[in-house]
Structure 1
Amino acid sequence: MRGHTRNGSYRRVLFALGAVGMTTFAQLYYPQALIPAISRDLDVTAADAALTISGATVGLALAVLGWSWVADRFGRGPVLKVALIASVVLGLLVPFAPSFEVLIGLRVLQGVALGGTPALALTYLAEEVDRRDAMAAAGTYISGTVLGGLAGRLIAAPVSGLIDWRAGALVVAALTALGALLAVLLLPAARNFRRPARSGRGSLRAGVAASLKNPALLVLYAQAFLLMGAHVAMYNYLGYRLEQPPFDLAPAVTAVIFLAGLSGAVSARVTGRLASRYGRRPVLLWSSATMAAGAALTIPDWLPTVLLGLLIFTTAYFSAHTIASGWVGPTATTGTAQATSLYTLFYYAGSSLVGWLGGFAFDLGWTATATMLTAIVLTAFACVCMTLLGRRRLFGAVPTEIAAPLVRARPYGATRSQAVHL
């Protein structure tokens, strides 16, 4: 495929996609640092305050397939820009929400707008960047998502501590508006977009149906739902816990826990090398088991153990997610765009549902929360083990080309396409 190579146009793609990643994930996750402040100011429970995250992610999950259909008709670049601008406009309205109900409604709508950015950014990359440079370009986008999610939380928390949560939200919204403007101005026009021969609803339904009938993909979707849900629930409520006895940390200090997310930039690269050497399946299993161990380490009321457990949990999560998300493309036999979009749907559905349910466990104490997260992660682990141990039963009537990706792992770099979400 001819695409943007290492010239001025290629550098524009890198900067634009980096800005898209930062803007998208700063908007999506900054309220995690504000959950305790929102709970106090609006007099709602921790689970209700966490709806500022879950509302946005459920909106994203519901919208992602629709955005992929629109992009098939009108092109990746223009639709990506529209989605980005809409998300920023809604984000600027969030700090002025007059009630909790309006706040959640705006976050749901913002999530719907954000549904047009993660999958389309990677689809644009796959179509427009020369294959020799695609991995480097994807790495730039992924780094942008990590830094954006981290920056949004680290900026919102101290501003909230000094003024209030609305000021923290407004500062993040203003900064993401600048990032969106940069992305819109820099993103080059598409050179290689071709409208699919069948770009209507029929092709969308066919691609979705094929993906949902593929047992191997269902296992990967389970990983997305369960592991992402556990990851978001951990970060939704751990800061809340650290502001309470026996820790009694200030909001600006508890925001430091989000620095653990930087481990994802390291573990994703290491995971690629490990998977190339040992195969995807063993690395995915070890990562899930390590996540469970990290969650258990956060139970004691001793700050060093809590922080160590969080770091282990986060590092292992990004490793598991890198494997699962990169496995979707090679596993899909038809409708790759719909297969990756469904991964995104399950990914954010888990974020929404499990992230919200974690609040009810938190009402019983952190031990209940950590136990819930450990059980969820071990369920994901069991899904993979069951697939491997019972593959004849699971794949009995499935063609070899569908079953093969979960039975014989390809080298990690051999994926046809890759979708990574943070």
Structure 2
Amino acid sequence: MGRHIAKVQGTSLQRGQAKSLIQESLERLTVIPTIGYVLLEIDDLTDVKEANYRFIEFKEDDCNEHSRSLKKYYVERIQETEKVPKVTDVMDDLANQLRHGLLLPSLKTGDFTTSDKLDECLEVISSKLSDVDPTYPEGKEIRLNVFFGRQLFTRINKIKDQNFDIHDWCGFERNNKFRLSTSFQHDAPQIIEKMSIIQKKFRLQSKPETIIGNKGSITVYYTHNEKKRKFKLHWNPDKGLWELTKAVKDIRRHAIMDFVSGSRRPDLRFLLKTQCDHHIDSKLEKIIQDLQPVKYLDSEDGMLFREKDFSKFIDCVGVRQTVRKLRYSNGEFQVTHATICQEVKGKFSKEEFISVKSLSWRKVENIDKSPMRHFDEEEIISTIRDTIEFARQITKVIS
């Protein structure tokens, strides 16, 4: 398909305003986060100044459509036994002395930073929480989660040395000087393989299976007036039908914090997003009603609906089906293992999502249904910190 070029004419001011509106529209469509940090985990290091890392090419399957065709790398810490002395001159020695002072730059949105800056990152996020306050009259819902996976990096070709230290890391930027881009893979087989050990260590009790066969929930993503929307289907075994249970609009990612382990341990992603309830109109109900008769049989890949089923009715951009979900809880935290089949832009993938959330977040996530309830930003930030620490403890058990 050829490229389509649109020309914007007008005064410099008018072109600038048009550019801002186009950028705003694209951000709404792709759900780009307002705040993003990539934190390198250094809490377990005995000598941060001597720590060195490298980018290693990732050769496994990529589940993300936007990075599937790109060469990808993950971060690995170089062990002391592997280090090779560098040949340096006097100026290099002086530069290294200054760098090892670790006078790191101040925190900015989008920075590559280190885990000791977590509190500073949370302060920035807390300043945005009032903007996403779910007590807002439009029925805004807030969603918080910590996922296990692997952070990959693309477009690192402008970095002259794929080995780096802490100071180098804090100089990296997304899509700027070094044009680094990230791709988070929701894949943590280490967690799945050792779930019985994790259960015992953290007293996590299995909760009842909520999926009947492979008829788990189905989420359909589509665009309307260049804004991303979605609706959700659940299987009603009594009626033998799929039912529309939820519709949302104005989906926004407000903050992402990725924690890069630099080791065999899984990386972590904290995600804060919001969405607003959207009434289930007769058009959506008619679409599902028309699709029902031909969608009773299970498919080989686990998906009962595909993009093409909806594309003749709406501008469908993806279909996701949960074919298996297991939950474990200790009364304070809940760990969820979900098997997800999805089709995005015609490409099929199957992923194992492992996430952890604080059970106290439920009252925040459902606060839009009780607008008189108090929304405590400090309490939320505290639970975010505690949940990230709980996720870290899980990764240490399996290392």
TM-score after normalising by structure 2: 0.23
Larger RCO, structure (CA 8 Å, separation 6 or more): 1
More helix by share: 1
More strand by share: 2
Larger Rg: 2
